[in-house]
Structure 1
Amino acid sequence: MTEQETEIRKRLESRAFSIAMWGNLFMAAAGLLAGVLSNSNAILMDGLFSLIGFGAALLGRRISLRIDAGPDNARPFGYAADEAIFSTFRSLSLLGLVLFAITSAVKTIYNYIGGTAPEPLTFGPMFVYFAVIGVTCILLWGFHYFTWRRTGRRSAILRLEAKAAMFDGLITAAAGIGLGAIYVFRDGPLAPIAPVGDSLIVLILCLLAIGTYVREFRGGLGELAGASASPEHVALARRALRTTIAENGGTLEDMSVTKLGREVLITVYYNPNRLISAAEIDALNLRMIEQARGPLPDADVLLVVTEHPRRWPEALNPF
């Protein structure tokens, strides 16, 4: 990617995160206000999700501006890890909020079964809230998604923000449908559960959400732990470097592929089977980087000249 293309991508990402910040701040304020006015825990939870989204967009904007900075004295391996750290801990914070909401909903339902009725819902503010927030979520998702596509589908943070906006919209729609059903049938078939209908909706939505955030958390944690990249990334890396290795006449002893944020690190364990100078090794490494960045735009290649794979043979390893 040229310097001009990098600057354009940074500008687009920065604009997307700025819009996400103010959009989430607006939704958070609307959710907290509507939740208090309507006595709805479901709407309060929705507002808290948006408040986390505001903080995430603020951090995401800062990370996106420096993600392409190369290694320096402070960060010898560059800043790619920031993206994985962000994704991991954002997912963790959302999981914490989901677990808190589940606990609160279960407590309310338990108290109701024990004879303590919660405060009745006020439905007036809800319908205005659901209409406005639903449209806002759709607009945010669309803006994030198309910005992600315009920037080459490379930003894990932007992709996560698009997914979060879409999921927030689905939660808002589901909560609106559920509370609307309780409003319509509160004196009919849903009369027995109407007093805790709000808590039941919170519980159902949280149980639906928890799997998504667990997957995001595990994915980010795997990247930080240095786990192997997906089989798709490994296959792309092997295909990209196959021709270069064959042309050079050496033997590929092993290859490992890891992903950290948007960066893909390919470690090639290569036996040249001949005498080779440092200049030739450097030229080969640069050719490998060029070839790898065809299918994997943010790839880097670490060329290790050796006659062994990634793990020392037991007979040679004294430790």
Structure 2
Amino acid sequence: MHTLDASERKKLEGRSLVIGMWGNLFMGGAGVMAAILSNSNAILVDGLFSLIGFTAALLGRNVSRNVDAGPDRLRPIGYAADEAIFTTFRALSLLGLLLFAMCSAVMNIYNYATGHPPEPLIFEPLIVYFIVIGLTCFLLWWVHHRSWSKTGRNSDVLRLEAKAAAFDGVITAAAGLGILGILLLQDTALGVITPVGDSIIVLLLCLTAVTQYYKDFMSGLGELAGVTAGPEHIAKVRRAIRKILSKDGGRLVDLSILKLGRSFHVSIYYDPMRALDAQEFDKLTLDLEHELVTVMPLVEVVVLPTQYGRRWPDDVNPRKNPRTHQ
């Protein structure tokens, strides 16, 4: 199997995001138009979801261009944090939309219960909408998922866009089935709820999605806050560096790993047990980075010579034992 290099991965990711950008713009416009023609709040939420997807794909494309750029004068630790910022606020924007839709649905149900029924649904424009938008969502999911897989499954941008496309498709399908159900229930004992049936559908769909996007938001926020990477990443790093450090003859004092999007920052606290000059130390760092890049394509390694770990012991910690000057 042909392995894509960095430029090919970036090109494929960019192409996927461009397709997603225009696909979401088309679905957003179609959703708003169909909502106006049909008086459906469920379809309006679907269209707004797609318009947010258009903005996200536009921003995500810019993020993907710079995410693997190295440190420079403007960004001394590189641009990896941009992907974590993007995924965090992408999830937050989706949460905001879901909460808005839930509040709107609750208000519609309340107004109906107090004697103010909404405009009746017009079903004819919805049939074409559900077919076309459902197929478009599936196509976008397939494009993003395929690109994510071919680029090594490291891009949080593509992962979240694929998930969003899949959920948009689920919303569309569920709204279509729900509105069909409303049509079939009109002449039954449950016909009393059909005037607010699409508001009930919106409420149920949003409740099922809030938990997932809240998890995505908290995950991105944790990366920005500097929370330690997951245990599977720590185990992967330990296995990769064990042979090199054992051969060097020193002692691994501590290890910390931060994840920012698809990038990892690995700090190795190391006691070499002997004197090392700068050239030897650079060679050790590069050997470790060459080993780690085989399991983490985007990784920055910092080796800190120390007999302590990631924090000073209390007896020498300057914050706990400040020196007094005469």
TM band (smaller chain)? over 0.9
Letter in 2 for 1:101: A
Unaligned runs of 5+ in 2: 320-326
Equivalent residue for 1:222? Answer: 222
Letter in 2 for 1:187: D
Letter in 2 for 1:302: V
Equivalent residue for 1:56? Answer: 56
By how many angstroms is 1:235 displaced? 0.6
Equivalent residue for 2:179? Answer: 179
CA distance in 1, matches of 2:31, 2:193: 23
CA distance in 2, matches of 1:192, 1:101: 22
CA deviation map 1:190-219 (0-9, x unaligned): 301101001000100110111111011001
Contact 1:285 1:303 in 2 (8 A): yes
Equivalent residue for 2:296? Answer: 296
Contact 1:118 1:196 in 2 (8 A): yes
CA distance in 2, matches of 1:289, 1:171: 44
Equivalent residue for 1:262? Answer: 262
Equivalent residue for 2:323? Answer: none
By how many angstroms is 1:259 displaced? 0.1
**Secondary structure at the counterpart of residue 61 of structure 2:** helix
CA distance in 2, matches of 1:265, 1:79: 12
CA distance in 1, matches of 2:215, 2:66: 26
Equivalent residue for 2:20? Answer: 20
Letter in 1 for 2:129: Y
Structure 1 residues 82-161: aligned runs within 5 Å: 82-161=82-161
Letter in 2 for 1:118: P
Contact 2:40 2:198 in 1 (8 A): yes
Letter in 1 for 2:296: L
Letter in 1 for 2:53: G
Equivalent residue for 2:162? Answer: 162
Contact 1:250 1:272 in 2 (8 A): yes
CA deviation map 1:57-80 (0-9, x unaligned): 001111111212111111111111
By how many angstroms is 1:231 displaced? 0.8
Equivalent residue for 1:253? Answer: 253
CA distance in 2, matches of 1:236, 1:190: 56
Equivalent residue for 1:238? Answer: 238
CA distance in 1, matches of 2:54, 2:87: 14
By how many angstroms is 1:188 displaced? 1.1
**Secondary structure at the counterpart of residue 193 of structure 1:** helix
Contact 1:182 1:190 in 2 (8 A): no
CA distance in 2, matches of 1:171, 1:218: 23
CA deviation map 1:122-154 (0-9, x unaligned): 111111111110000000000110111111111
By how many angstroms is 1:10 displaced? 1.4
Letter in 2 for 1:126: L
CA distance in 2, matches of 1:174, 1:219: 27
Letter in 2 for 1:69: A
Equivalent residue for 2:281? Answer: 281
Equivalent residue for 1:68? Answer: 68
By how many angstroms is 1:9 displaced? 1.1
Unaligned runs of 5+ in 1: none
By how many angstroms is 1:279 displaced? 1.0
Equivalent residue for 2:193? Answer: 193
Moved runs in structure 1, 4+ residues, more than 4 A?
none
Contact 2:20 2:57 in 1 (8 A): yes
By how many angstroms is 1:256 displaced? 0.5
CA distance in 1, matches of 2:189, 2:240: 62
**Secondary structure at the counterpart of residue 5 of structure 2:** helix
* Identity value in percent: 56
Task: Flag the 1:189–1:293 CA change in 2: closer, same or farther, 3 A.
Answer: farther
TM-score, with length taken from structure 2: 0.95
Contact 2:68 2:298 in 1 (8 A): no
CA distance in 1, matches of 2:124, 2:299: 53
CA distance in 2, matches of 1:10, 1:278: 34
**Secondary structure at the counterpart of residue 266 of structure 1:** strand
Length, aligned pairs only:
316
Contact 1:28 1:51 in 2 (8 A): yes
Equivalent residue for 1:204? Answer: 204
By how many angstroms is 1:38 displaced? 0.5
Letter in 2 for 1:211: T
RMSD of aligned C-alpha atoms?
0.9
By how many angstroms is 1:189 displaced? 3.6
